[in-house]
Amino acid sequence: MIDSWASVRSPEEKLAWMQTLAKAAHDLKQRKSSLKVYVQGQKSPEGAELGLRAPVLVRADTVSKCMRCSAGFSTFGLRWKHHCHACGIVACSKCVSRKARLQYDGGRACRVCDACYAAMAPMSDDDQQQCCPLPGCEELPSPAGPVPPFPLPPDSNRYGSGAVLSGYLRLKTGGRRAHWQRRWFALHRDFVLYSFRSEQDELPLTSVPVPGLAVAAAEKADGLEPRSCAAAFKLFHQRRAYVFQAQDAQDAQRWMAALERASKAEEPS
């Protein structure tokens, strides 16, 4: 392995090696995080607190069975997974079949599991809503007997927390006739840049390993107006470029400095 690394024959081969190693490190970190156990002080609301404060949401990609009835989720059945917005578990549509108005969310009607629905304070008939299963959702029989409580992992929060640097950026897509998309970006210590639709999202839209990529200020040749270049930068290699626009030049410099270190797989200063 070391001999192969020391004798890479081209910049493209070096880039492929660095991105493969970064992805392997990222995958290992994700597997380890899913095995951590629940610790005191990081629990979701219970009993009288249900609906009053936001729960810690279990990451859907770490769950293979319904946390209420233990029915398995199929490999391609991600649409079958639903969060209970009262306690945070991931369950099938049969076990998260109702909606309740949650005070922490301004009284909005959200999906909750049957156990939380029964435990929460009685509501008027207008506030209680039966939630229909998603189209094409196949329901599996529930096992007999009571369902034991499922501890929430401490790191079940979204990828956006604990980032080296995070914030809203505008991403240019579509070449010269491009449009800009405003997204929330988070750069993590595993040198992966995640994008989200908004700061509140749990799971990322995309993830890009940064090691091996180049960072530079954007130019007019990148399809920008001259007045926009000061707050713009790009992340690129020979075949692909990502052009970003920050809030201002100072914000752009912060992102460029952090991405420059990540591109060399260096720990943040």
Q: How many CB atoms lie within 10 A of CB 2?
A: 6
- pLDDT, tens digit (0-9, with 9 covering 90-100), for 138-176: 333 333 333 333 333 333 344 445 689 999 998 887 655
Please, how many CA atoms are within 13 Å of residue 203, restricted to the half-sphere of its CB? Answer: 8
Q: Which CATH architecture has domain 158-263?
A: Roll (2.30)
The structural domains of the chain, with segments of one domain joined by +, span: 47-130, 158-263
Q: Which CATH number fits domain 47-130: 3.40.640.10, 3.30.40.10, 3.40.50.2000, 3.30.450.20?
A: 3.30.40.10
pLDDT at 35: 36
| The two structure tokens encoding residue 33 | 């995080």
- pLDDT, tens digit (0-9, with 9 covering 90-100), for 70-104: 777 765 444 478 889 888 888 888 888 888 888 88
- Cα 20 to Cα 11, 13, 26, 29: the distances in Å are 14, 11, 10, 14
Among 174, 113, 124, residue whose Cα is nearest residue 149: 113
Q: What is the mean pLDDT of residues 17-42?
A: 55
In a 10 Å sphere around its CB, with 0-12 CB exposed, 13-18 middle and 19+ buried, how is residue 161 labelled?
exposed
* Residue 87 to residue 80: CA distance in whole angstroms: 18
- Cα 64 to Cα 78, 91, 111, 142: the distances in Å are 10, 10, 20, 15
- The answer on pLDDT for 33 being more than 60 is no
pLDDT at 218: 81
pLDDT at 185: 93
